[in-house]
């Protein structure tokens, strides 16, 4: 009996080999099974929505590429059917003819190299700030905030160093959109932080002033701010004194956006536990050192989504400058579509399609980068 038991007994001394998961549970098939077809109702919804998306995507491809008109000298190319019974599609010939105007507006052709140089410098500084591995972030940030505006003033406006002066009423297109948006973003963030700190201040005068500033600006539509800055403000200036319309618009946009930015930052400040303030005071830190070194870094990290949302809204709201006579990217597209040489139904659709792609590309890129920053900075808040 003992011998029989020893023959049939088995003691494993090594781990059993790992078997691969079933094929229908991994890869693309597994993802679809888990997310798209887990239940009959979800499967039906996935099929219906997927079919609708395929139908819409094919419609866009057919309109933009299959039936699109890529070459032509005027509107006739965009209204002539490519073959019998087929309507013409997107008028890319119009986009090609007006492309430079969409980018530079009415900026003089021989001076557009100045815009290109500024764009290269802006992209380089922005990349240096965005890429974590690039060193000297502090100096790059100082150059971006203080040096870039000076360079933009010299290059875009001119009048110095032998450069011809270009009045701001000739600016337009994507150039104008980026100038207003970037200026508003750069100015509204620090001002919003100061307003948020002032609203939480223990000094009544500072607190009530910040509260009144924030509530007044948040209670006024941006289009009203633009009208006040461009039309009403000069009426209150001393006789003979006048300021550039572009400058007034940028200041109005920055002040308007700073009110919303202040409330976003204030939400982050209120989310900081009271123990952080007490610990900083226990270390002997004063108010400003405590705020700059301990409180603000944590608060701004918490409200990254809100800050980015404000930036995206500001970028899209720049389209409102058209109502005060400034032709931004969308405005210049509308003006180009109204040109008698190109006016047609497909011309306007093509212009709006390009505008939608440009705005979406910017907003989507900023949104994805903010998600990357959230993940990179969320070292103490892993879920």
Mean pLDDT, range 158-174, rounded to an integer: 87
pLDDT digits (tens, 9 = 90+) for 35-86: 888 888 988 999 999 999 999 999 999 888 888 888 888 888 888 776 766 7
Task: Give me the percent of the chain exceeding a pLDDT of 70.
Answer: 92
What's the rounded Cα separation, in Å, for the pair 43 and 227? 52
Residue 114 pLDDT grade (very low, low, confident, very high; cuts 50, 70, 90): very high
Mean pLDDT of all residues in 322-329: 87
pLDDT of residue 9: 67
**Residue 121 confidence (pLDDT):** 93
Are 91 and 99 in contact by the 8 Å Cβ rule? The answer is no
pLDDT given for residue 342 in this prediction: 87
What mean pLDDT is reported for the chain? 86
pLDDT score for 354: 93
Q: In this model, does residue 185 exceed pLDDT 70?
A: yes
Question: Average pLDDT, stretch 139-160?
Answer: 88
Alpha carbon distances (Å) from 21 to 17, 24, 27, 30, 136 = 13, 8, 10, 10, 48
Under 8 Å between Cβ of 252 and 232: no
pLDDT at 205: 93
Return phi, psi of residue 220, to 5°.
-115, 130
CB-based contacts of 114, cutoff 8 Å, min separation 6? 155, 156, 158, 163
- Res 141 pLDDT > 80: yes
pLDDT digits (tens, 9 = 90+) for 2-24: 455 556 666 777 887 877 777 76
> Radius of gyration of the chain from Cα atoms?
29
The pLDDT score that the predictor gives to residue 197 is 92
Phi and psi torsions of 315, nearest 5°: -60, -40
Per-residue H/E/C for 119-177: HHHHHHHHHHHHCCCCCCHHHHHHHHHHHHHHHHHHHHHCCCCCCCCCCHHHCCHHHHH
The model's confidence at residue 262, banded by pLDDT at 50, 70 and 90, is very high
Give the best-scoring range by mean pLDDT among 17-31, 83-97, 122-136.
Answer: 122-136
pLDDT at 1 over 50: no
pLDDT of residue 2: 47
Percentage of residues of the chain with pLDDT beyond 90: 30
268-319 pLDDT tens trace = 998 888 888 888 888 888 888 898 888 898 888 888 888 999 899 999 989 9
Structure tokens of 5?
């038991």
Q: At what angle do helices 245-271 and 204-218 cross, to 10 degrees?
A: 120
| List of residues 6+ apart from 183 with CB closer than 8 A | 149, 250, 253, 254
Q: Which domains does the chain have, with CATH numbers?
A: 92-107+166-377 (1.10.3720.10)
């Amino acid at each position: 009996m003992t011998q029989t038991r020893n023959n049939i007994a088995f003691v494993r001394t090594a781990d059993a080999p790992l078997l691969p998961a079933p094929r229908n549970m991994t890869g693309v098939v597994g993802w679809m099974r888990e997310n798209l077809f887990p239940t009959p109702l979800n499967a039906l919804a996935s099929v219906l929505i997927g079919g609708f998306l395929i139908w819409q995507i094919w419609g866009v491809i057919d309109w933009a590429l299959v039936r699109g008109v890529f070459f032509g000298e005027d509107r006739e190319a965009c209204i002539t059917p490519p073959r019998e019974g087929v309507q013409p599609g997107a008028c890319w010939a119009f986009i090609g003819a007006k492309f430079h105007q969409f980018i530079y507006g009415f900026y003089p052709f021989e001076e557009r190299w100045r815009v290109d140089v500024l764009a290269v410098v802006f992209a380089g500084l922005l990349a240096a700030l965005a890429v974590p591995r690039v060193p000297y972030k502090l100096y790059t940030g100082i150059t971006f905030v203080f040096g870039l505006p000076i360079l933009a003033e010299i290059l875009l406006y001119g009048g110095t160093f032998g450069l011809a002066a270009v009045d701001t009423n000739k600016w337009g297109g994507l150039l104008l959109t980026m100038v207003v948006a970037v200026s508003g973003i750069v100015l509204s963030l620090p001002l919003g932080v100061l307003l948020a700190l002032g609203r939480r201040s223990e000094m009544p005068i500072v607190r009530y002033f910040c509260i009144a500033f924030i509530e007044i600006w948040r209670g006024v539509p941006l289009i009203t701010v633009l009208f006040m800055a461009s039309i009403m403000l000069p009426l209150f200036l001393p006789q003979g004194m006048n300021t550039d319309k572009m400058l007034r618009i940028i200041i109005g946009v920055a002040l308007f956006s700073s009110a919303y930015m202040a409330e976003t930052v204030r939400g982050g400040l209120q989310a900081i536990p009271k123990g952080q303030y007490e610990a900083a005071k226990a270390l002997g830190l004063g108010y400003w050192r405590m705020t700059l070194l301990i409180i603000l870094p944590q608060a701004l990290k918490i409200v990254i989504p809100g800050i980015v949302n404000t930036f995206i809204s500001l970028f899209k709201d720049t389209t409102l400058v058209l109502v005060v006579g400034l032709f931004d990217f969308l405005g210049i597209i509308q003006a180009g579509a109204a040109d008698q040489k190109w006016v047609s139904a497909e011309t306007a659709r093509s212009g709006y399609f390009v505008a939608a792609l440009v705005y979406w590309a910017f907003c989507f890129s900023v949104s994805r980068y903010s998600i990357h920053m959230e993940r990179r900075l969320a070292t103490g808040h892993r879920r």
